[in-house]
Amino acid sequence: MEKEKIFGWAGTIIRVDLTREKIVKQPLPKELAMNFLGGAGINAKILYDEVGPEIDPFDPENRLIFGTGPLTGTMIPTSARYTVTAKGAFTFAFADSNSGGHFGPELKFAGYDHIIFQGRATNPVYLWIDDDKVELRDASKIWGKDVFQSDDILKEEIGDPDIKIALIGPAGENLVRDAAIMNDRARAAGWGGVGAVMGSKKLKAIAVRGTKGVQVAHPDKIEDLFQKCVEMMKGSAKYKWYSYYGKPWLTWLRNEKQKSNPTKNFNLPRVPASEFPKVDHEAFAKHIVRWKGCFNCQMHCGHVLRGLAGPFKDVVGEGYEYNQMIDGYMMGIFDLNFVLKWAVETNRLGIDCDGPAYAIAWAMELWERGLISEKDTDGIKLEWGNQEAALAMLNKIVYREGFGDLLAEGTRLAARKFGKGTEKFAHQVKGGRIEIDPRTGWATALSHATSTRGSDHLKGMPLSNAYGKWYGVEYNYADDSSTEHKPEAVIFFENMNAVIDSLAVCKNVTWTQSEDSFGLPEFAEWMYAVTGYEYTPEQLLRIGERIYNVERAFNSKCGLTRDDDTFPEKFFTEPIESKIKCLDRETFEKLKDRYYMLRGWDVKTGHPTKAKLEELGLSDIASDLVKRGIIQG
């Protein structure tokens, strides 16, 4: 790509070899940009090309890839996103994580689309980017410091309070498998243990100052689109919910309508009626001090919050949403003052909020069943609802002390190491925790089982009627009891969400969440206005399919098969309510059959076929998988 002719994309990739202390700038290949867009898509292709199955997540030869999209940093609403991709610390396969705030746009303003890290520094370092100036600097004085301290120290050292920083805390330094990469102090790339991969490289932070802006092809169209988009966003049915409550409004939807709020390590389908008014979205709203949005976002679903009672009264923090509320439910803690404290502490320590909560919930069930005692837990009474114990164990997890060292491995590895029948209560898919009870519906189950990064709702769970709208069929995402159209809908959302994460906009204002918000037609308009390239909605969806196949192919290369697209036995044998039965295994396997068939994948193995990969322009990946004996030639 000739830099002077580029619009949208910055046109440059930074490669950093930490072992050799070598930094190289490379042009972003036009073919790569056209076929994978940016962000998650380009990241995935780089990961496949450069990381083999023999590479451990903490091996210096693993890659840590930061990627913005062509829309990042533009006037397109919610264009704040960036993606971090690596071989995952707890899946040992594909992992990526997406974050908002202001770091992604700042990286674009400095003139860069992606940063690829490899190797391991001898001593702790951070990367300083000041437009064209890119250099590694000593990070010894902030190694061991928490996220808030490190953020303050770097801004003081550089002498600019407005620089944007992505960094790890003690959790990443100690290779806790759920460690996050934090930016803006309270925004997290938290999934997949990418923070632990960063820590394994002795890379403490990336600090950026960018002043170049983003060049767009049609500025006049951008201005018109901006006004149109804001009006459309505010007219969306879910705008009033997200703009006031943020994601915490989902607690009501899932508890009262879908009956799927994970509680006490999935032993309850939802929060008991006697407790829910203490921890629903209305209770949450009482803690709001002010609203806060990411770069160029009119949804402003973030909040600054204050504790109102108890030992955490007057604790102030942000970055607290639905997930942290679920963390409390999982540990049997029904107190939003605690949830705020949990959010602040996990942000400060640089760990994904869910990981330690789910690990502690697992341990609390073991405690209740008499499988562990104070002798195992360093004297900490891991009883349901014990707030003091939860915070004490969080600290032990982050610093890998005592029983916390075991929990720092995540429930799958912890259960394998501890044994004694504890594996039965470790609820995970591909090593990733289960966020939503799959027994509540077939689309929920199928999307969480087939997600390329372990069980998760952000890859392909249908959360709107967009599939029906696009294909003109009757489809009600809220009715998850029927199997009709479920594989088709999951595939549609997986492909579409891959596009969203590659353009780098927020899912909260797209068809992912509401069919009356931004979707494929708008994405095509945005791409033309920003880059000057004309994509049809169908072409974009095809690119999403290509990206998802790359992610799946990487997992195939790492040894994952159809057998990994499933759930622990509990979800097939234990019903949770009279109206919510356990999953029927035969029906589930038939849904998977249809899913693989529609995908063009091998129904027996779950691997992408040579024909499908070649059809998508991925002949190089097809040849590699054939050569490795993973798929047939």
**349, pLDDT greater than 50:** yes
pLDDT (tens digit per residue) in 593-618: 999 999 999 999 999 999 999 999 99
- Judgement on whether residues 244 and 189 belong to the same structural domain of the protein: no
d(CA 594, CA 485): 10
Q: What percent of the chain has pLDDT over 90?
A: 79
Are 14 and 37 within one domain?
A: yes
- Determine the pLDDT at residue 580: 63
Rounded distance between C-alpha atoms, residue 170 and residue 178, angstroms: 12
Q: Give me the domain span that covers residue 496.
A: 438-627
CATH code of 581's domain? 1.10.599.10
Mean pLDDT score of the chain? 94
DSSP state of 580: B
Q: Are residues 108 and 64 in the same domain?
A: yes
Same domain, 25 and 165: yes
pLDDT of 1 > 50? The answer is no
Mean pLDDT value of segment 250-270: 84
Contacts of 569 (CB under 8 A, 6+ apart): 424
Structure tokens at 45: 């292709």
SS3 assignment, position 65: strand
Q: Which has more confidence, 296 or 446?
A: 446
In percent, the amount of the chain with pLDDT more than 70 equals: 99
Q: Do the domain assignments include residue 80?
A: yes
Selection from 113, 154, 115, 107 nearest residue 131 by Cα: 107
CA distance 167 to 179: 11
Rounded Cα–Cα distance for residues 616 and 200 (Å): 35
The CATH number linked to 341 is 1.10.569.10
Residue 123 and residue 156 share a domain? yes
Asked whether residue 89 is assigned to any structural domain, the reply reads yes
pLDDT recorded at residue 172: 99
Q: Are residues 414 and 520 in the same domain?
A: no
* Whole-angstrom distance, CA of residue 556 vs CA of residue 548: 12
Residue with tokens 């301290």: 149
Residue 482 falls inside a structural domain: yes
168 and 290 inside one domain: no
- CATH code of the domain covering residue 51: 3.60.9.10
What is the count of structural domains for the chain? 3
pLDDT at 98 over 70: yes
Tokens standing for 410? 């995540």
Residue 244, domain member (yes or no): yes
Q: In this model, does residue 581 exceed pLDDT 90?
A: no
SS3 149: helix
H or E element in which residue 304 lies: strand 302-306
Indicate the SS3 state at residue 335: coil
Final residue before a domain boundary, out of 367, 399, 426: 426
Task: State the Cα–Cα distance between residues 21 and 30, nearest whole angstrom.
Answer: 28
Q: Which residues contact 244 (CB under 8 A, 6 or more apart)?
A: 285
**Domain co-membership, 384 together with 242:** yes
Interatomic CA distance for residues 248 and 30, integer angstroms: 41
Residue 368 forms part of a structural domain: yes
The verdict on residue 265 lying in a domain is yes
- Is 251 within a domain? yes
Q: Please tell me the chain's helix, strand, coil percentages from 3-state DSSP, rounded to the nearest 5.
A: 45, 15, 40
Same domain? 399 vs 459: no
Residue predicted with more confidence, 13 or 1: 13
pLDDT of residue 53: 98
Please give the angle made by the CA atoms of 249, 333 and 250, to the nearest 5 degrees.
10
426 has a pLDDT exceeding 50: yes
Last residue of a domain, one of 360, 395, 426: 426
Q: Are 165 and 207 in contact (CB under 8 A)?
A: yes
* 331, 456: one domain: no
CB 204 within 8 A of CB 142: yes
Is residue 264 within 8 Å of 332, Cβ to Cβ? yes
- DSSP strand pairing (203-209 vs 164-167): antiparallel
Q: Has residue 459 been placed in a domain?
A: yes
- Residue-wise pLDDT tens digits, 177-234: 999 999 999 999 999 999 999 999 999 999 999 999 999 999 999 988 988 888 888 8
Please tell me whether residues 150 and 288 are part of one structural domain.
no
**Residue 442 and residue 421 share a domain:** no
Cβ count near 266 (within 10 Å): 24
Q: Kindly report which listed range (241-245, 340-344, 564-568) carries the lowest average pLDDT score.
A: 241-245
Predicted TM-score of the model (pTM): 0.96
